Amino acid sequence: MSMSLTEPRIIVFTCNWSAYSGLESAGAEGLSYPASVHPVRVMCLARLHPGLILRAFELGAAGVLLLGCPPGECHYGSGNSRAAEMFEELQALARLLGVRDEQLQLDWVTTGQGATFANKVREFADRLMLVPAT
Amino acid sequence: MQTESIKEAIRTHRAHYCLDCGKCTSVCPISWRDPSFSPRALVESCRLDATGTVLSDERIWECLTCGRCSLVCPSDVQFVRFVRELRSVARHAHQEGHCTHGATIQTWMRMMADPEIKQERLGWLTGDLRTAAKSDTVYFVGCLPYYDVLFRNTGAQGTEIAQGAVRIMNALGIEPMVLSDERCCGHDLLWEGDTDTFGRLAKLNTESLRATGARRVVTTCPECAYTLRTDYQLGMEVVHITELLAARWDKLAECVTAQESEQPLTVTFQDPCRLGRYMGVYDQPRQLLLNLGLQLAEMDHHGSRSICCGTSAWTQCGATAKCIQVDRLREARATGSDLLVTSCVKCQIHFKCAQNDPVLEDGLRIEVRDLVTLVAERLKESAGS
Ligand code: SF4
Ligand code: SF4
């Protein structure tokens, strides 16, 4: 059985700009990250809403990591602060549903930083392995 | 197969007795605002349907299941039951309504159907509220803690209702049990035709509720009350809090400070569909308001003729829903009341959402409150301690 089937699935939403460019750089530089990570690119994290992310958990995701632009560097100006507001609401709902904070995080990657992308994703996955299976 | 299911629904809910009179359409709040919708015409389409194409008809999801039509039907067609079953058939044919709020609510409901889920749903229970590990009463909180998060931006009160309910019960000498593994009652999924998930929720809640050994379940949501009473086989008494409080007014009277000012507040009451038309609880909330020393000014449509808050099961909320809410808020304002009181968190959310309209704002302004919080804030300091 391959690792990707036994490892829990982790969904990483990246914005199209900083975070996705980090992902592309990681690929170009040959940096690896766990096979359990399934990146999903959206134009901006502000496009996401709590229902969509809860749906990932409903379908069995072990964790969801949202990666956007660094503060002040949103491609659209205000997208990442809107995403932060959305995240607050999402986190409150997720906590009610028993999702632990280490299973759901919001973070950012600077454009072109492949190593940062790979590290953040790996650290997120590592922390999740510590969460006891429910 | 599907056409058989449609025929079955027609037979079971008496749709084949329809006389085509159109009385239902004349009292339907959706039809008033959206002439393309008519319960009569939907019944007719189903009866004439030979291939199952009616299942992709958008109208199936438009109905509020408010029950106004059933009151006037001369043939006793059970339209709301019919539409509920039709939705279940349509769902099996991979059709569904448009879930408002990105299906956030339906998603948490389905997540709660997972037997393994460990919710953290009792954060609202502050130290001053007394609950018991063993009691003859369970307070079924429903999705209030969740609505509190999702609709905080509308100004809706969620956990305040739960806190108020426990505070009032404490004043009456009741220390209820509250369950950390309670789940959504499933009302909205059931009425949207998702009978599978409803069945799972009902089973889990029934097990937990029965395991308490309590005699009675109290709810603050009319939809929870109706569902637990009618669609569960609980074998326990289920009461909505307005029924409990009205029945215990003698005792409650000692615990509350009634309005004493020369000019008492005037209030008007929005009958939630499940509380009023479905359970026949019209007088109790009104009696409570009068007992609190408030003046009651009725809207033109009240009691059994009351009009739904415009959206049901978090589905198809759109222009028609908004029109119904705006009409209703204007009707409430026309009574000259200071407060629009309701007894269902969903009515409150829908009205407060409509009030956020930046253009109509001033014309829709009236404070919307839940009856429970109104009673709770009038409890005397010493009550129940
Ligand atoms: S239940 Fe209400 S919304 Fe639905 S058809 Fe009847 S009157 Fe109209
Ligand atoms: S009121 Fe009853 S009989 Fe008349 S059209 Fe409607 S469903 Fe048919």
Residue matched to tokens 């079955």: B8
Read off the amino acid at residue B246: A
CB B139 within 8 A of CB A83: no
Q: Which residue among A58, A92, A134 sits closest to B110, beta carbon to beta carbon?
A: A58
A 10 A CB-CB count for B30 gives 26
Distances (CA, A) of B257 to A52, B173, B209, B262, B286: 46, 17, 34, 15, 17
Ligand 2 atom with minimal separation from the B17 CA: 3
Structure tokens at B351: 């009205």
Q: Rounded CA gap, B207 and B89, in Å?
A: 28
Separation between Cα atoms, residue B346 and residue B271, nearest integer Å = 12
Q: Do B119 and A58 touch (CB under 8 A)?
A: no
Model-level ipTM above the cut of 0.90? yes
- CA A56 to CA A47: how far, in whole Å? 15
Assigned token pair, B376 = 């709770």
Burial pattern B35-66, b for ≥16 Cβ within 10 A else e, equals: eebbbbbbbeebeebeebebbebebbbbbbbb
pLDDT at B252: 95
The whole-angstrom separation of Cα B211 and Cα B202 is 14
Taking contacts as CB-CB distances below 8 angstroms, the residues of chain B near A131 are none
Question: B295: how many CB neighbours lie within 10 A of its CB?
Answer: 16
B342-371: per-residue pLDDT in tens? Answer: 999 999 999 999 999 888 878 999 999 999
Residue appearing with tokens 């509190």:
B148
Percentage of residues in chain A with pLDDT exceeding 70? 91
Mean per-residue pLDDT of chain B: 95
- pLDDT, residue A6, reads 55
Tokens of B153: 């931006």
Report pLDDT digits (tens) over B76-126: 999 999 999 999 999 999 999 988 888 999 999 999 999 999 999 999 999
B235: left (phi over 0), alpha (psi -120 to 50) or beta: left
Residue B44 near residue B285, CB atoms below 8 Å = no
Q: Which of A33, A57, A51, A50 is nearest to A134 (CA)?
A: A57
Mean pLDDT of chain A: 91
* Atom in ligand 2 nearest the alpha carbon of residue B23: 1
Q: Which ligand is nearest to the CA of B47?
A: 2
Question: What is the mean pLDDT of the segment spanning B312-321?
Answer: 93
pLDDT band at residue B384, thresholds of 50, 70 and 90? Answer: low
pLDDT for the residue A2: 40
The verdict on the CB of residue B80 being under 6 Å from ligand 1 is yes
- Which atom of ligand 2 is least distant from the CA of B79? 7
Identify the residue with better confidence: B362 or B158.
Answer: B158
Cα–Cα distance for residue pair B122/B162, rounded to 1 Å: 10
CB pairs under 8 A between A and B: 52
User: Which residues on adjacent β-strands are paired with residue B177?
Assistant: B138
pLDDT value of position B60: 95
Closest chain B residue by Cα to residue A58: B111
Q: Sheet harboring A37-42: ordered strands across?
A: A37-42, A10-15, A63-68, A104-108
pLDDT given for residue B67 in this prediction:
97
Q: Is B222 on the interface with A (CB under 8 A)?
A: no
Counting ligand 2 atoms within 8 A of each CB, the residue from B18, B27, B46, B82 with the most, and so the one to mutate, is B18
Distance CA B126, CA B124 (A): 6
Question: Does residue B169 line the site of ligand 2, with CB under 6 A?
Answer: no
3-class DSSP state for residue A17? coil
d(CA B43, CA B76): 13
Supply B311's token pair.
């959206």
Question: Each residue of B32-86: pLDDT tens digit?
Answer: 999 999 999 999 999 999 899 999 999 999 999 999 999 999 999 999 999 999 9
Q: For residue A134, give the nearest of B110, B118, B152 by CB distance.
A: B118
Query: Could you give the 3-state DSSP secondary structure of residue A29?
Result: coil
- Give B41 Cα–ligand 2 centroid separation in angstroms: 9
Give the pLDDT score at B174: 98
The reported pLDDT for the residue numbered A132 is 52
pTM equals 0.94
Sheet of B266-270, strands arranged across? B295-296, B266-270, B339-342, B367-370
Q: Using alpha carbons, list the distances in angstroms from residue A113 to A109, A110, B317.
A: 7, 6, 43
Q: Could you give phi then psi for residue A25, rounded to 5 degrees? A: -65, -40
CB pair distance less than 8 Å for B104 and A95: no
SS3 B39: helix
Residue A51: pLDDT over 90:
yes
Looking at residue B49, its amino acid is D
- Please state the rounded mean pLDDT for residues B328-343: 97
Is B104 in Cβ contact with A49 (below 8 Å)? yes
Looking at the DSSP assignment, which residues form a beta bridge with residue A68?
A108
Residues B329, B342: Cα–Cα separation, whole Å: 12
Q: SS3 of B33, please?
A: helix
A134: closest chain B residue by CA: B116
% of chain B residues with pLDDT over 90 = 92
Predicted local distance difference test score (pLDDT) of residue B382: 73
Q: Which amino acid is at B346?
A: K
Residue pair B15/B9 in contact by the 8 Å Cβ criterion: yes
Q: Which of B311, B322, B366 is nearest to B341 (CA)?
A: B366
Asked if pLDDT for residue A66 goes beyond 80, the answer is yes
Residue nearest to atom 7 of ligand 1 (CA): B28
Asked if B269 and B298 count as a contact pair (C-beta separation under 8 A), the reply is yes
Q: Where are the domains of chain A?
A: 14-30+38-129
- In sequence order, what are the residues at sequence separation of 6 or more whose Cβ sits closer than 8 angstroms to the Cβ of residue B381? none
What's the order of all strands across the beta sheet hosting B137-140?
Answer: B137-140, B216-219, B237-240
On the question of pLDDT at A4 being above 50, the answer is no
Q: How many CB atoms lie within 10 A of CB B254?
A: 11
Ligand 2 mean position, distance from CA B233 (Å): 31
Band of residue A130 on the pLDDT scale cut at 50, 70, 90: low
Confidence label for A5 from pLDDT (cuts 50, 70 and 90): very low
Please answer whether residues B225 and B279 qualify as being in contact, where contact means their C-beta atoms are separated by less than 8 angstroms: yes
Give the mean pLDDT of B136-150: 97
pLDDT in tens, B225-261: 999 999 999 999 999 999 999 999 999 999 998 766 7
Q: Do A55 and B118 touch (CB under 8 A)?
A: no
Would you say B35 and B84 are in contact if contact means Cβ atoms under 8 Å apart?
no
Q: Do A97 and B119 touch (CB under 8 A)?
A: yes
- Cβ(B274)–Cβ(B225) below 8 Å: yes
Q: Do the beta carbons of residue B80 and residue B67 sit within 8 Å?
A: yes
The pLDDT value given to residue A3: 43
Which tens digit of pLDDT belongs to each residue from A71-126?
999 999 999 999 999 999 999 999 999 999 999 999 999 999 999 999 999 999 99
Judge whether B121 is closer than 8 Å to chain A, CB to CB: yes
- The C-alpha of B142 sits at a distance from chain A's nearest C-alpha, in angstroms, of 13
Indicate the residue type of B254. E
Among protein residues, the one whose CA lies closest to atom 2 of ligand 1 = B66
Task: Please choose, from the candidates B95, B6, B87, B1, the residue with its C-alpha nearest in 3D space to the C-alpha of residue B45.
Answer: B6
Ligand 2 near B26 CB (within 6 A): no
Tell me which ligand sits closest to the C-alpha of residue B316. Answer: 1
CB contact residues (below 8 A), chain B span 135-194, against chain A? 145-146, 149-150, 152
- Full set of structural domains in chain B with CATH: 2-92 (1.10.1060.10), 101-249 (3.40.50), 257-376 (3.40.50.1860)
Residues of chain A contacting residue B119, judged by C-beta atoms under 8 Å apart: 96-98
Ligand 1 centre to CA of B291 (Å) is 33
Residue B108 forms contact with A (CB below 8 Å): yes
Q: Residue A55's closest chain B neighbor by CA?
A: B107
- Please name the residues in contact with B359: beta carbons below 8 A apart, sequence gap of 6 or more: none
